[in-house]
Structure 1
Amino acid sequence: MKKFTLIAALLFGVAHFASAQLIPNFQFGAKAGVNLSSFSLSNNNFDGSNRAGYLGGFWARVGGLGFHFQPELYLTGKNVNIEDDNGNVNRVKFTSIDVPLLVGSKVGALGFGGRFYTGPLISFKINDSQNFGGAFSDAVRLRDVKNQNFAWQLGAGVDIQDLSIDLRYEYGLTKQTYNEGNSKARINLFNLTLAYKIFSM
């Protein structure tokens, strides 16, 4: 009887794990967190130091056959102190709507597990020439992509029921302009976020 119970429990666990990995599913949720930016400057006369920023928005996940596609859309603020040779410090802030398009895989079952993912990120900058509404419209429609900034994300996450904790590294592929377009900087950053699954099907 004990062997039967053990075998039944094992088979149930394997079946649940397989169904969680193979059967297509959809999830949607919200997320918020902080980032720590490191700027690689195009001018050797300046040094960049790290400052904390923020991000908040929404994510979706479509999974099946052991893999998932996870597009996201969130507002982010990336900050840095820039010091020149004379010791003058300028605080530069980049505000944008970011759209990561991630592909990954998950291990685990029964609401617990880890995820690994990577993919490109398109950053729709909010500045004097493009306000929040314009950047949001461009991001949702993925419009005017060629004139935006690009990065690549790599990260891992832990799922605990409806909550997820993610840690990512973002490498800037293009240089963003600042100081009225006279200077450029490539943004590399880490971000740590807490996500909540609103619904799934």
Structure 2
Amino acid sequence: MKKLLLLFVVVAGATQFASAQLIPSFSFGVKGGVNLSSLSFSDPDFSSGNRAGYLGGIYARVGGLGFNFQPELYITGKNVNIETEVEGVTAVNKVKFTSIDVPLLLGGKIGAFGLGGRFLTGPLVSFKINDDQSTGQALGRAVTLSDVKNQNFAWQFGAGLDIKKVSLDVRYELGLTKQGYSFEGGEGKTRINLFNVSLSYQIY
């Protein structure tokens, strides 16, 4: 009797696991979180200070055989400080810009019984809505972004944890589009990189 009960538990667990991994599924939900943006400079005279931003929007997930495709649509607020020191005075340019971001992610999932881990990666296209720059000390001598392009591309890498209908995601976003910046005496190119943490809730 004990052997039959044990066999039943094993079969039930295997069935649940196989169902979670093999049967095609669709889900839809909302998500929100925070991010930290940074700029990569090859010139050691310039540095990028992190400032918290936000993201909020929706996602969909289509999966089967342990893999899934996850398109997302959300609004992102990105904030960063560009700093340089001139004659003992730190010049700071506070950059803020808002965009609509569309990641198209491929990933895999392991787990069962409403608990699982995910990994994902894929391209992201970002459409700028607006931007603002305010220069602090040493006005006119700080580094300024020439103009954040209206359409930018990036690549996301991340992992997530699912608990029932709630998911926690941690991602790194590598900027692919080069942005121009200018300073007294020259110009250069930089990329916008981003780290974000988000929570999502499955509605359907």
2:11 is equivalent to residue 6 of structure 1: no
Higher helix proportion, which one?
1
Which residue is 1:95 aligned to? 98
List structure 1 segments (4+ residues) > 3 angstroms apart after TM superposition. Answer: 41-45, 176-179, 182-185
- Name the TM-score, length of structure 1 as normaliser: 0.83
Q: For the Cα contact (< 8 Å) 1:40–1:186, is it kept in 2?
A: yes
* Matched residue count: 180
Question: What is the aligned counterpart of 2:190 among 169, 185, 191?
Answer: 185
**One-letter code aligned to 1:188:** N
Identity level (%) = 68
> Displacement of 1:20 after TM fit?
1.2
Unaligned residue ranges in structure 1 (runs of 5+): 129-146
Q: Offset of 1:45 from its aligned partner?
A: 4.7
Q: Deviations over 1:38-62 (max 9, x none)?
A: 2114766532111111100000000
Partner of 2:62: 62
- CA offset at residue 161 of structure 1? 0.5
Alignment of 1:96-115 (within 5 A): 96-115=99-118
Please identify, of 81-90 and 69-78, the stretch whose mean Cα deviation from structure 2 is larger. 81-90
C-alpha RMSD of the superposition: 2.0
Alignment of 1:1-201 (within 5 A): 1-41=1-41, 45-86=45-86, 87-127=90-130, 148-176=151-179, 185-199=190-204
The 1:42–1:74 alpha-carbon spacing in structure 2 relative to 1, beyond 3 Å, is farther
Q: CA deviation at 1:178?
A: 6.9
| CA distance, structure 1, for counterparts of residue 114 and residue 129 of structure 2 | 37
1:72-93: CA deviation from partner (whole Å, max 9, x where unpaired): 0000011111113321111001
More strand by share: 2
Render the CA deviation track for 1:143-183: whole Å, top value 9, x for unaligned: xxxx621111111000000100000011101124578xx87
SS at match of 2:69: strand
Distance in structure 2 (CA, Å) of the matches to 1:37 and 1:19? 39
TM-score by length of 2: 0.82
Larger Rg, first or second structure (1 or 2): 2
Q: What are structure 2's unaligned runs of at least 5 residues?
A: 132-149
The 1-side partners of 2:179 and 2:55 are apart by 18
| 1:94-121 Cα shifts (integer Å, max 9, x gaps) | 2111011000010001110100111011
